[in-house]
A and B are shown apart, each in its own frame.
Chain A
Amino acid sequence: MKIKDFHIASLQALKGVLINMGNYVPNTLEEQEAMLGLIGMKSSEDLFVQVPKGVRLNREFDIPSSKSEMEVSRIMTSMAEKNKIFKTIFRGAGAYRHYIPSIVKQITSKEEFITSYTPYQAEISQGVLQSIFEYQTMICELTGMDVSNASVYDGATAAAEAIIMSVERKRNKAIISETVDSQILETIKTYCKSLDIEVVVAGASNGVTDLANLEKLLDEETACLLLQQPNFYGQLEDAEKIGRLVAEKGAKYIISSNPISLGILKTPAEYGADIAVGEGQPFGIPLSFGGPYLGFMATKEKLMRKLPGRIVGETTDNQGRRAFVLTLQAREQHIRREKASSNICSNQALCAMTAAVYLDAMGERGLKQAAELSMAKAHYLARLLCEIDGFNIIYKGEFFNEFVTSSPINVDKLMKILEDRGILGGYPLANDKILWCATEVNTKEEIHKLIDILKEVAV
Chain B
Amino acid sequence: MKLIFEKGSTGRGCDLLPPSDVPVINLEDKFKRQSKLNLPNVSETELSRHYTELMKKTFGVNDGFYPLGSCTMKYNPKINDDMAKLPGFTDIHPLQSEETTQGALEVMALAEEYLCEITGMDNMSFQPAAGAHGEFTGLQLIKAYHEKRGDSKRDKIIVPDSAHGTNPASAAMVGYKVINVPSTNEGYVDVDALRDAVGEDTAGFMLTNPNTLGLFEANILEITNIIHQAGGLNYYDGANLNAIMGIARPGDMGFDVVHLNLHKTFSTPHGGGGPGSGPVGCKLLLSDYLPSPRVIKGAEGSYHLSYDNPDSIGRVKAFYGNFLVVVRALTYILSLGKEGLKHASINAVLNANYMMHQLKDTYHIPFSDHCMHEFIISLEDLKKEKGVSALDVAKAMLDYGMHPPTMYFPLNVPEALMVEPTETESKETLDEAVRVYKKIYEEVTSNPELAHGYPRNTVIGRPDEVGAARNPVLRYVYNK
Contacts and interface: CB of A to CB of B under 8 A. Distances in A.
Contacts of A347: 273-274
Contacts of A325: 463, 465, 468
Contact of B14 (A344, A348, A363): A363
B132 A117 contact: no
A114 B39 contact: no
Interface in B65-116: 66, 68, 71, 73-77, 79, 81-83, 86-97, 99-104, 106-107, 110, 113-114
A240 B33 CA distance: 13
A292 B317 contact: no
B96 A424 contact: yes
A85 B81 CA distance: 19
Nearest to B106: A79
Specify which of B30, B93, B353, B472 lies most central, judged by the most chain A CB atoms within 10 Å of its CB. B93
A107 B76 CA distance: 18
A201 interface: no
Interface string B407-422: 1010000000000000
Interface in A121-158: 121-128, 130-134, 136-138, 140-142, 144, 146-148, 150-151, 153-157
A99 interface: yes
Interface stretch (A62-70, A168-176, A219-227, A386-394): A62-70
B427 A23 contact: no
Q: Interface range on chain A: under 10, 10 to 19, 20 to 34, or 35 or more?
A: 35 or more
**B4, B215, B344, B394 — most chain A CB neighbours (10 Å):** B4
Nearest to B292: A186
Contacts of A346: 129-132, 263, 273-276
Contact of B272 (A40, A50, A155, A349): A349
Interface in A158-200: 181, 183-184, 186-187, 189-191, 193-196
A136 B334 contact: no
B314 A270 contact: no
A365 B38 CA distance: 10
A112 B62 contact: yes
Contacts of B62: 111-112, 114-115
A248 interface: no
A360 B472 contact: no
Nearest to B457: A123
Contacts of B299: none
Contact of A370 (B17, B86, B341): B17
B361 interface: no
A240 B253 CA distance: 57
22 contacts: A25-B347, A55-B249, A79-B107, A91-B96, A110-B51, A117-B71, A117-B73, A117-B403, A123-B395, A123-B455, A136-B474, A184-B318, A190-B315, A265-B32, A336-B169, A338-B168, A350-B271, A350-B272, A362-B14, A364-B37, A376-B23, A415-B97
Given A66-B340, A154-B318, 11 more contacts: A24-B74, A65-B338, A97-B91, A112-B55, A115-B76, A123-B395, A123-B463, A127-B55, A153-B275, A266-B33, A424-B96
